[in-house]
Amino acid sequence: MKSIESRIPHFYDVLDEELENCRFIEDLFTEAARVHGFTQMRTTSMELRERYVGATQVHASRIFEVHRVKEGSRYALQADLAMSMSRFVADLPSPPPLKLAQIGTLHRDRQPNLPGYRREFQQLLLGTWGVRSAYADAEIIAVSHRVLDGIPGIEPAYVQLADHSIFNSVRPGLTQTIRFDERGVEEVLAEVEELSPADRGLLVELFAPERMPAEDFVRLAGKTEHPGIQEEVRAVERVVARLRPMLPGVELSFSLSHIHGTGHYSGMNYQIFATAQAVPEPFLIGDGGRIDQLCELMNRNPVPAVCMGLGLTVLAQLMTPVERDQRVAILADLDRHGPDAERAEEIRRHLADRGMHPAVLPLPRRKWTSVLRSEHYADYAFVLVEDDRVSVRHRSPEGRASVERALGESTR
C-alpha cells in the first residue's frame, strides 16, 4: 500500500510499498559506504535547542521542538544530519579524520509547505571530517552518484558544482549581498571597488548561464586578475580533476549563479540532479558541500569537513517498485469449523516455504467480502478455506493460477 497522510498535515504513516523501496535503497547505500570505508552511525534525534539553532541560519520556526514539562526543558528535533554529525565530531576530545555514513529521520518545516511535502522524512548522508583534500569532496560525490545509478527507475542526469567563496574572496559577505539584492549581479558588482573592470565583466558573463561545463568554467575564470578568485578557481579545478576519473562520462557542470545555501556551506557546494519516470525533467536529489565551519559553531573546535545528502523518502516514492513475492491471505472461520484451522495452518506453512508470505485471517464468513474488496489487500491472492473446501481468488488470472499451482503441489 502507498503511504497515507495522517491527521497531522505533512506527516505520513509509511506503509509497506514505500518501506520495501526504502530498504532496497538503504542496502545499496550501506554497501557503497562500507566498500569505501565509511563507518555507519546514528545520531540522537534530540539536540540541545539553543546550541542547534545557533549553528544554523535556518529560522527557529522551521525546527520542531520537544518540550519536557516535568523538567521544564526544550530540545530540538534533528533537522539536518550534517549538523548533528558535526556536533558529534565537535564533542570528541581530539577528533581524528572520520568518514561517516548515516541513514536518519529529519523533522523540518518549509515555507510555504508544498502539496505532498513531508515535515518528517529520511535522508542518506556521507561525510568526511578532518580532511581538506579535494579527494574527500570527489569521493562523496562519486559514491552518492553510484548509489543513485543503482536505483531502478532513477537516472542520474548531471553533477553541478558551485562555490560561494568566489565572490566572498573579493569581499566578505558579497555572495549573500548578490543573493538577496534585487538590483542584480551587474549593479552590485559595479560598486565593488576591489574588482577591476575586466574582472567585473568576466564575473557578470560567467554568472549569466544557469550552468556550463566545469572545465570551461575553470578555463574562463582562470583569466581573472584577482588573487582570491584565482585561488578559488584552483580549488574548483582540483575537485574536477579528482572527480573526472571517478565518474567517467558523467556531465560535470559549474554554476556561478547557484548561490543558495550560503548559511550552511562554507565554500564549495555540490548537487546531483536526476530524472525518473514520473519526473522526466532533471530534479535535485543530492545536495552537499564544504561544511568547514559547523564543528566550530558547535563547540569552538575547527574541523574541516565535507558532506553529501540524498533524499531517501523522495527516491523511495519515485523509483520503480522492487519486485515483490506473491502475498496471500488465508480466510477461514476457525471458530465455526474446527478442522479448517488445521487445513489453514497446513496451507500457510506450504505457501510460506514458497515465499508467498501468507497471512491467516480467522474471520466469520460474513466479513470476508470486506477483506476481498479492501485496497489494503489489492495485490493479495486469497485462499478461502470453508468446510474443508479450498478455493483461490485473485484480481488477475495469472496470479490466481500461480497460487493454485503452488497449492496443487501440496497434494502430490
**Grid cell at residue 144:** 552518492
Please list, in sequence order, all residues whose beta carbon lies within 8 angstroms of the beta carbon of residue 172, skipping any fewer than 6 positions away.
none
Q: Residue 378 — pLDDT band, cuts 50, 70, 90?
A: confident
What pTM value is reported for the model?
Answer: 0.89
pLDDT tens-digit map of 269-282: 999 999 999 999 99
CA dihedral 147, 313, 328, 384 (to 10 degrees): -160
339-346 long-range contacts, Cβ below 8 Å, gap at least 24?
339/388, 340/385, 340/386, 340/387, 340/388, 343/385, 343/388, 343/390, 344/385, 346/410
Q: What is the DSSP string of 92-137?
A: SSSPPPEEEEEEEEEEB--SSPPTT--SEEEEEEEEEES--SHHHH
Q: Decide if pLDDT at 20 tops 90.
A: yes
Residue written as cell 548578490? 178
pLDDT tens-digit map of 134-149: 999 999 999 999 999 9
Least confident of 106-115, 177-186, 221-230: 106-115
* pLDDT of the residue at 409: 67
- Rg from Cα positions in the chain: 27
Q: Residue 60 — pLDDT band, cuts 50, 70, 90?
A: confident
Q: Considering only CA atoms, which of 39, 323, 408 is closest in space to residue 153? A: 323
Q: Decide if pLDDT at 368 tops 90.
A: yes
208-215 long-range contacts, Cβ below 8 Å, gap at least 24?
208/257, 209/255, 209/257, 210/255, 210/257, 211/160, 211/253, 211/254, 211/255, 211/258, 212/253, 212/254, 212/255, 213/251, 213/252, 213/253, 213/254, 214/161, 214/240, 214/252, 214/253, 214/254, 215/240, 215/252
* pLDDT of the residue at 411: 44
Cis peptide bond upstream of 282, omega within 30:
no
Which range has the top average pLDDT, 58-67, 219-228, 370-379, 402-411? 219-228
Q: Residue 412 — pLDDT band, cuts 50, 70, 90?
A: very low
- Please give the share of the chain, as a percent, with pLDDT higher than 90: 72
pLDDT tens-digit map of 232-266: 999 999 999 999 999 999 999 999 999 887 568 88
Task: Report, in this order, helix, strand and coil percent for the chain, each rounded to 5.
Answer: 40, 25, 35
Q: What's the DSSP call for residue 347?
A: H
pLDDT higher at 111 or 97: 97
Measure the CA–CA gap between 101 and 35, rounded to whole angstroms: 12
Q: Considering only CA atoms, which of 130, 144, 132, 133 is closest in space to residue 242? A: 133
CB 159 within 8 A of CB 271: yes
pLDDT tens-digit map of 324-337: 778 899 999 988 87
